[in-house]
Amino acid sequence: MGVMTFTAKIDLQFAPKLQKDLESQGFAISRPPYTAFSAKKKGVTCTLYESGSLIVQGKEMKEFIEFYLEPEILQSFQYSHPEAHLDLEPHIGMDEAGKGDFFGPLCVAAMYADASGITTLLKLGVKDSKRMSDSSITKLAKKLRSEFPYTTIRLFPKKYNELYGKFKNLNRLLGWAHASALGDLATKTGCKKALLDQFAKDYVMESALKQKKIELAFQQKVRAEEDLVVAGASIIARSAFLDGLKVLSEEIGMELPKGAGPPVIAAAKKLVSQWGKEGLDKVAKTHFKTMAEL
C-alpha cells in the first residue's frame, strides 16, 4: 500500500506544545525549510509546516495518531478516514436509518461521488452518522443533497407496515428498498460500482438486485461507513429519518422518541390511550417486539 501518510490541519498556536510533547516522547527535532519543525523517531516522522499542515508518516504512526495526536492535539477523530485510505474510484454508497426505531419511517439512501467529490467529503468532515449529533446531521445532509446526486426511499409506518406484511421479513424488505434506490441512482449517474453497509447475508441483496435486473459491481461489507460515500449516504438517510419523525410527531401531537427503549414504550402507551391501535399503525413499525410489551 506504499507509504502510509496522514495529513491534518492544525492551529499553529499548538506548535510549541506539540514540539515539547514530541521531545518528551523521544522524537529528535529538526527544522527543514518551510516547517515549524520536523520530529523523528523509529517508525514515525511528524512534520508541521508553516501553513499549519501536519504530515505524519511511518510504520508506527497508527498508535501515535490514535493515542496522542487525536485526543491531545487534533481533538477530532478523523483517522478512520485519512487521505491514505481513501478509495477515489467513483462509486455509489448506501446505508439505511430507522431500522431499529419503533417510531418513524425506514429510510434508505444512495449517494454518488467521483474522485473530486470524495475529496470534498473528506474536507466537509463527513463520517458515520452514528458518531454525529442530530443537528450536525441535519446541517451536513442539506449540503450533501445540494452537491451530490442521491436517491432516498422513505417508508412511513403506514406504507412500511403494509410492505412488511407482504415481505414478512425485514431484511427482504430492506433488500427491496436498497435495490430500488440503487437502481434509480445508477440510472441517473451511469455509475456501475456500489458499496453497501451490510445488513444481512449476501444473497438477500443479490436476489433483490436480480429481481430488478440491476447489473453492476456490487460490494457489501460490515462497517462500510468507513467509506466516505457510504458515510455520506448514512447522513442523508439519518436526516430523512429525523425529518420524518418530526413530521409524525407534529401530526400526532406528541414527541415521538427515537430507538426502542423505555421512553418509547411509555410514549406508545400514551398514544394508544389517545388514538387506539390505529394511531400506532400510523406512526410505528408494528412488527417490533415493543408491540408485545404493550
Same domain, 181 and 131: yes
Same domain, 239 and 120: yes
User: Which CATH number does the domain housing residue 25 bear?
Assistant: 3.30.310.10
Same domain, 133 and 223: yes
The pLDDT confidence band at residue 109, using thresholds 50, 70 and 90, is very high
Same domain, 15 and 129: no
Q: Is it the case that residue 85 has pLDDT exceeding 70?
A: no
Could you tell me if residue 273 is inside a domain? no
Q: Is it the case that residue 197 has pLDDT exceeding 80?
A: yes
Burial pattern 50-71, b for ≥16 Cβ within 10 A else e, equals eeeebebbbeebbebbeebbbe
Same domain, 70 and 109: no
Q: What percent of the chain has pLDDT over 70?
A: 95
Q: Is it the case that residue 64 has pLDDT exceeding 50?
A: yes
- Is there a contact between 228 and 81 (Cβ–Cβ < 8 Å)? yes
Task: State the pLDDT at residue 287.
Answer: 92
3-state secondary structure the chain: CCCCEEEEECCHHHHHHHHHHHHHCCCEEECCCCEEEEEEECCEEEEEECCCEEEEECCCHHHHHHHHHHHHHHCCCCCCCCHHHCCCCCEEEEEEECCCCCECCEEEEEEEECHHHHHHHHHCCCCCHHHCCHHHHHHHHHHHHHHCCEEEEEECHHHHHHHHHHHCCHHHHHHHHHHHHHHHHHHHHCCCEEEEECCCCHHHHHHHHHHCCCCCEEEEECCHHHCHHHHHHHHHHHHHHHHHHHHHHHHHCCCCCCCCCHHHHHHHHHHHHHHHHHHHHHHECCCCHHHHHC
User: Which CATH number does the domain housing residue 167 bear?
Assistant: 3.30.420.10
Could you tell me if residue 259 is inside a domain? no
Same domain, 126 and 231: yes
- pLDDT tens for residues 66-75? 888 888 888 7
- pLDDT tens for residues 228-252? 999 999 999 999 999 999 999 999 9
Q: What is the dihedral of CA 132, 133, 134, 140, to 10 degrees?
A: -50
Task: State the pLDDT at residue 127.
Answer: 85
Distance between CA atoms of residues 186 and 85, nearest Å: 25
Three cell numbers at 126?
A: 463527513
Q: How many domains does the chain have?
A: 2
Could you tell me if residue 256 is inside a domain? no
Strand ranges across the sheet with 106-113: 150-155, 106-113, 91-97, 193-197, 217-221
Report the mean per-residue pLDDT for the chain.
90
- Is there a contact between 82 and 7 (Cβ–Cβ < 8 Å)? yes
Q: Is it the case that residue 2 has pLDDT exceeding 70?
A: no
Could you tell me if residue 288 is inside a domain? no
Task: State the pLDDT at residue 224.
Answer: 83
Task: State the pLDDT at residue 124.
Answer: 86
Task: State the pLDDT at residue 1.
Answer: 39
Domain stops at, among 47, 64, 85: 85
Same domain, 44 and 139: no
Compute the average pLDDT of residues 268-287.
93
Could you tell me if residue 226 is inside a domain? yes
Within 10 angstroms of residue 231's Cβ, the number of other Cβ atoms is: 26
Distance between CA atoms of residues 73 and 71, nearest Å: 6
Could you tell me if residue 287 is inside a domain? no
Task: State the pLDDT at residue 251.
Answer: 94
Same domain, 225 and 145: yes
Distance between CA atoms of residues 11 and 32, nearest Å: 19
Same domain, 132 and 79: no
Could you tell me if residue 285 is inside a domain? no
Q: Is it the case that residue 78 has pLDDT exceeding 70?
A: no
Task: State the pLDDT at residue 161.
Answer: 96
The pLDDT confidence band at residue 77, using thresholds 50, 70 and 90, is low
Could you tell me if residue 277 is inside a domain? no
Compute the average pLDDT of residues 277-291.
90
Same domain, 184 and 213: yes
Same domain, 243 and 192: yes
Q: Please give the angle made by the CA atoms of 144, 149 and 155, to the nearest 5 degrees.
A: 85
Domain stops at, among 38, 65, 85: 85
Q: Which residue carries 429510510 as its cell?
A: 107
The domain of 13 spans 5-85
Domain stops at, among 22, 55, 85: 85
Same domain, 48 and 140: no
Compute the average pLDDT of residues 148-169.
96
